Amino acid sequence: MTETDVVVNGRTLHAYAHGDGDLVVMWHHGTPNIGTPPAPLFAAAQRLGIRFIAYDRPGYGGSTPHPDRDVASAAGDAAAVADALGVDAFAVFGHSGGGPHALACAALLPGRVTAAVAGAGLAPFAAAGLDWFAGMGPGGVASLRSAAAGRAAKEAYAANPTITDPDFTAADWAALDGAWGWFGSVVQPAIANGPAPLVDDDLAYVRPWGFDPATITVPVLLLHGEGDLMVPASHSAWLADQIKGAELRLTPGAGHISVLTAQDQAALEWIAAVTRTREDA
């Protein structure tokens, strides 16, 4: 693993790279995580000739805060990181809160992003026809309703949450007892300096994203566990209806973390197949 700092518009983005494959995938991390690429996927990435790159979103880890950023700002940050690492074209893979940020790159960097995977990701807050909170667990509802009420309400909630247990299913806890226990290594440093970056993330999710998912033209794969209580599967179903040609893979019985156990390697295989098919065309 190599790490470097990238300066964009006077801000620092702390970036990572792992592997030496010819196919580059940029990992977009969840909330609250730092951006270290996902170790549970390193063996599959090596097999498929994939090199991971990533960065800490603003405020997390070694990256400078960027209050009141929107989801679309991830495209400019991702492009700057890719430039600094000498990468032209790349696919994107986002999990949870990383999903909308990966889709932002797909929408706004169509000349560079070759394919996009969004796993267990949110739909826009104003998504027409979607009951956004339906099926969401009590922790997510309380946290995101506070964000919808504005910065002051979200900061107050983050300082004294009424619900502290995550909306994980039994399958999620089992996944965390296995390889995806890796999340512990990226959550703890993300929250070490307080909730400010989490607040900025949640505010960005419930504000206008700054792009329309329907404008995405690159291949998109949407992954979701049908039992997800943190982000209901209806969010990915809505996105699949909006993004022309998007493929939706729902996993019965899987939750927010366990969808990765079920679909992580298949998602990388899809990226490799789609990207190399486009290169050969």
Give pLDDT tens digits for 133-182. 999 999 999 999 999 999 999 999 999 999 989 999 999 999 999 999 99
Q: For residue 186, what are its two tokens?
A: 């990226």
CA distance 73 to 84: 17
Q: Give the separation between CA 92 and CA 90, rounded to whole angstroms.
A: 7
209-268 pLDDT per residue, tens: 999 999 999 999 999 999 999 999 999 999 999 999 999 999 999 999 999 999 999 999
> Which DSSP symbol is given to 92?
E
Question: Which residues, at least 6 apart from 188, have a Cβ–Cβ distance to it below 8 Å?
Answer: none
Per-residue pLDDT averaged across 195-204, rounded?
98
Instruction: Pick the closest to residue 16 from 116, 65, 87 (CA basis).
Output: 87
pLDDT of amino acid 200 = 98
Whether residue 23 contacts residue 46, with contact meaning beta carbons closer than 8 Å, is answered with no
Helices (H), 149-195: 151-159, 170-176, 183-191
Q: How confident is the model at residue 50 (pLDDT cuts 50, 70, 90)?
A: very high
| Low-confidence winner among 31-45, 240-254, 267-281 (lowest mean pLDDT) | 267-281
CB 106 within 8 A of CB 75: no
Distance, in Å, from the CA atom of 195 to the CA atom of 63, rounded to the nearest integer, reads 14
pLDDT at 1: 95
Q: How many helices and strands in the chain, by DSSP H and E?
A: 10, 8
The predicted-structure confidence for 77-119, as pLDDT tens digits, reads as follows 999 999 999 999 999 999 999 999 999 999 999 999 999 999 9
Q: State the pLDDT confidence band at 276, using cuts at 50, 70 and 90.
A: confident
Residue 63 structure tokens = 């990256």
pTM of the predicted structure, to 2 decimals: 0.97
In angstroms, the CA 99 to CA 118 distance is 4
Cβ(118)–Cβ(222) below 8 Å: yes
